[in-house]
């Protein structure tokens, strides 16, 4: 793609490529309610901790939801998932109510298990909570198979993968499919009301902002199981490897960056930042990032993300306008103040409520692009911190001559299926000023 190529041209090319891969492209799904049933049959790809949480959120969202299939690379994780789901059902469902209908025939293991799950009938919705590196591949396959999708954040770990998500989202629109993302702040009534107030001029033109995810290191390191392959070990410890999670600025801080993009109305044009590592026991992630994002039109946002135990913690956002400021999850100050309020709605459940409503009403939701733009924002920050260079959004989306346009971290999702995964060395991280553009 040269500089003259427009975003529309890029999307047309990407969607055409996806459509050519499947005979289902261009068709509209007919599984939901086709047999006079209002049941929503759900399959889950990736059943770690977030997978269990997402499935129970989905069950809580609508009484017609049934969980009918599960796919994961690790057998012990599937067993734990089933135990936790059984316990949840015993505590939350009425006696005799059977809404989990996973059988041995709909339990799939291995790195190709997602393909087997997508082939079963009937199946209406796919919940994708696999490790981040797999999100583009799994989303793409689900859309090609004609399924509505809930996909956890972020969109991917590198520009190549995120562009696949954008293309898959455009194909979903053509096929009348909903794609809802795990950026739950967009489903939170407090955030929604404050976003509307800001759009209506409550703080004037936004001129700057600050976003934070400063917390401890939440993930333990798991020892290698006897006989476990490098690929299985990386999946079990996915949060420790940039290749699997994108680093914590991408996997975690993407929430706050998404809020900034949402309220400002666009992603930033460029990023300049730094970061470092001193404490990790495994893998190759940084401990912290500090990044300035330039949104153009004299709008800048400072981003701070940190995972160091024993330090002050803050997870929030603030945007400053010409006549006031907003804490998107709280109060508005200035000429049109509004006090902070709390809401009893759980946004982690509400995002599934909104997905299912969109299916019932035949009004598909399309959140793939917002998820992708927030992820690209975070990736810009990560690459800038790793290399010490200014990174522009066009480096990741348009300029094929950019050293980062074709950046694809290795191992890729396809490498796991091929069985060619090798464990990266622990503690070998990019050094700003000396780093090659491999990450």
The whole domain housing 105 covers 7-185+349-366
Pairing of strands 314-321, 324-326: antiparallel
- My answer on whether 35 and 161 are in the same domain is yes
The confidence score (pLDDT) of residue 280 equals 85
> What CATH code is carried by the domain that includes residue 317?
3.30.360.10
pLDDT tens sequence across 378-425: 999 999 999 999 999 999 999 999 999 999 999 999 999 999 999 999
Q: Which position has the token pair 């929604």?
A: 192
Q: Which position has the token pair 């990023």?
A: 271
- My answer on whether 44 and 127 are in the same domain is yes
> What CATH code is carried by the domain that includes residue 118?
3.40.50.720
- My answer on whether 155 and 18 are in the same domain is yes
- Edge-first strand order for the sheet with 65-72 is 107-109, 65-72, 40-45, 125-128, 148-151, 179-181
When divided into structural domains, the chain yields a total of 2
Task: Kindly state whether residue 339 falls inside one of the protein's structural domains.
Answer: yes
The confidence score (pLDDT) of residue 96 equals 81
Task: Kindly state whether residue 428 falls inside one of the protein's structural domains.
Answer: no
pLDDT at 15 over 70: no
The percentage of the chain sitting over the pLDDT mark of 70, rounded to a whole number, equals: 90
**φ and ψ at residue 376, rounded to 5 degrees:** -60, -35
Task: Kindly state whether residue 421 falls inside one of the protein's structural domains.
Answer: no
Q: How far apart are CA 183 and CA 154, in angstroms?
A: 8
- My answer on whether 176 and 218 are in the same domain is no
Sign of the Cα torsion 203, 205, 210, 212 reads positive
- My answer on whether 319 and 214 are in the same domain is yes
- My answer on whether 217 and 112 are in the same domain is no
- My answer on whether 284 and 320 are in the same domain is yes
- My answer on whether 199 and 321 are in the same domain is yes
The overall pTM is greater than 0.85? yes
The confidence score (pLDDT) of residue 26 equals 32
What integer is the mean pLDDT of 362-371?
98
Task: Kindly state whether residue 424 falls inside one of the protein's structural domains.
Answer: no
Q: Which position has the token pair 């309020």?
A: 341
Which positions ≥6 away from 378 have C-beta within 8 Å?
154, 246, 249, 250, 253, 254, 257
Mean pLDDT of the chain: 91
- My answer on whether 311 and 193 are in the same domain is yes
pLDDT tens sequence across 261-315: 999 999 999 999 999 998 888 999 999 999 999 999 999 999 999 999 999 999 9
- My answer on whether 324 and 267 are in the same domain is yes
What integer is the mean pLDDT of 234-243?
96
Q: How far apart are CA 162 and CA 136, in angstroms?
A: 7
Q: What's the token pair of residue 99?
A: 């809404």
Q: How far apart are CA 417 and CA 59, in angstroms?
A: 30
Task: Kindly state whether residue 228 falls inside one of the protein's structural domains.
Answer: no
Maximal CA-CA distance, the chain: 64
Task: Kindly state whether residue 148 falls inside one of the protein's structural domains.
Answer: yes
Angle at 114 between CA 108 and CA 119, to 5 degrees: 85
How many residues in total does the chain contain?
439
pLDDT tier, 345 (very low <50, low <70, confident <90, very high otherwise): very high
Sign of the Cα torsion 423, 71, 116, 106 reads positive
Task: Kindly state whether residue 420 falls inside one of the protein's structural domains.
Answer: no
- My answer on whether 208 and 93 are in the same domain is no
Task: Kindly state whether residue 413 falls inside one of the protein's structural domains.
Answer: no
Q: How many C-beta atoms lie closer than 10 Å to residue 93's C-beta?
A: 14
pLDDT tens sequence across 54-65: 999 999 999 999
- My answer on whether 66 and 117 are in the same domain is yes
Q: Is 415 exposed, middle or buried (0-12, 13-18, 19+ CB in 10 A)?
A: middle
């Amino acid at each position: 793609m040269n500089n003259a190529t427009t975003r529309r041209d890029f999307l047309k090319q990407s969607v055409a490529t996806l459509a050519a891969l499947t005979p289902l492209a261009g068709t509209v799904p007919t599984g939901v309610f086709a047999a006079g049933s209002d049941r929503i049959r759900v399959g889950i790809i990736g059943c770690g901790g977030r997978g269990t949480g997402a499935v129970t959120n989905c069950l809580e969202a609508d009484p017609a939801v049934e969980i009918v299939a599960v796919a994961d690379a690790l057998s012990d994780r599937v067993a734990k998932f089933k135990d936790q789901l059984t316990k949840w059902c015993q505590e939350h469902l009425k006696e005799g109510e059977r809404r989990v209908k996973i059988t041995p025939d709909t339990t799939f293991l291995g790195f190709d298990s997602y393909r087997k799950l997508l082939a079963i009938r009937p199946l209406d919705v796919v919940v994708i909570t696999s490790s981040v590196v797999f999100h583009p591949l799994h989303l793409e396959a689900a859309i090609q198979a004609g399924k509505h999708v809930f996909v956890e954040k972020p969109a991917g770990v590198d520009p190549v993968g995120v562009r696949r998500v954008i293309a898959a989202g455009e194909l979903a629109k053509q096929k009348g499919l909903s794609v809802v993302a795990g950026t739950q702040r967009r489903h939170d009534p407090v955030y929604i009301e404050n976003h509307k107030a800001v759009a209506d001029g409550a703080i004037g033109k936004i001129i700057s902002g600050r976003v934070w995810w400063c917390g401890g290191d939440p993930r333990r390191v798991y020892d290698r199981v006897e006989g476990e392959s490098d690929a299985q070990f990386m999946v079990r410890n996915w949060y420790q490897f940039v290749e699997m999670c994108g680093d914590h600025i991408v996997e975690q801080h993407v929430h706050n960056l998404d809020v900034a993009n949402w309220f400002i109305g666009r992603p930033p044009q460029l990023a300049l930042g730094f970061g470092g590592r001193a404490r990790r026991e495994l893998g190759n992630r940084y401990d912290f990032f500090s990044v300035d994002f330039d949104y153009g039109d004299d709008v800048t946002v400072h981003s701070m993300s940190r995972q160091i135990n024993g330090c002050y913690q803050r997870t929030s956002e603030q945007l400053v306008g010409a006549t006031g400021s907003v804490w998107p999850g709280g109060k508005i100050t200035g000429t049109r103040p509004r006090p902070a309020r709390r809401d009893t709605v759980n946004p982690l459940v509400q995002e599934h409520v909104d997905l299912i409503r969109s299916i019932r009403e035949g009004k598909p939701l399309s959140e793939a692009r917002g998820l992708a733009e927030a992820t690209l924002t975070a990736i810009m920050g990560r690459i800038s911190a790793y290399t010490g260079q200014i990174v522009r959004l066009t480096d990741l989306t348009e300029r094929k001559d950019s050293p980062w346009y074709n950046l694809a971290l290795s191992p890729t999702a396809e490498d796991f299926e091929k069985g060619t995964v090798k464990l990266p060395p622990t503690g070998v991280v990019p050094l700003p000023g000396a780093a090659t553009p491999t990450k």
